[in-house]
Structure 1
Amino acid sequence: MTQAAKRILLVDDSRVARLTLQHLIKLTDATAEITQAANGDEALAVFQPNAFDLALLDFNMPGIDGLELGQLIREQDKKIHLVLVTANIQDTIVTRAKNMGIGFLGKPVDSEQLANLLKS
């Protein structure tokens, strides 16, 4: 039995960051279905419970930040895997993310770390 394609919500206000992440994801998993959003509002507009397996969330975005977005998504979908992807690696942010059950990936994204994340 083949595994269904991973459905990934990719949220970052930087178009370059989104395209780079999408490229890295496709190198690891060519079958991944990726939906992009440029900010929290766009992400919430396309988000539906059980529509995604994984959400990669930038922290610093206009409007709501990645942790707030993660909380709003988690309230609608308990099973989705959330990962904060950010260059803002302050201990307080990493700790808040962990306490919320949100994974953490620093920027620039390491392709090996991303590959391990996608396999888990």
Structure 2
Amino acid sequence: MSTVTVLTSPERRRRWSMAEKSRIVEESLQPGAMVTAVAQRHDVHPNLLHHWRRQVRQAASRRVNFLPVAVAAEKKSSPAIMGSIEIELGDAVRVRVDAAVDEAALCRVLRALG
């Protein structure tokens, strides 16, 4: 026997809180979970659940991860490297740029290394 939800108010759409959406999306991302089964269990159309999952993926791709920063003592440098920034990402990776660096390119490099 199936359950039918009757909406009697003029509002025909249900509202899902962010907590409810997150919980349902999280459940759908578990190993072995099927989107259709999770959607049916929560009385959500599978297309809507796919939309929520896509939103989560897009938000994750835009998320910025901050790294700890330490300011080192100023070193005496030659005029050729004045205005440069050196970024150390662990022991193995060091990125050095000068004031003429393209900001978008630097962001892409740091995102790839992070």
TM-score, normalised with respect to structure 2: 0.26
> Which protein has the bigger strand share?
1
Choose between structure 1 and 2 for higher RCO, CA contacts under 8 A separated by at least 6 residues. Answer: 1
| Structure having the higher Rg | 2
User: TM-score, normalising length from structure 1?
Assistant: 0.25
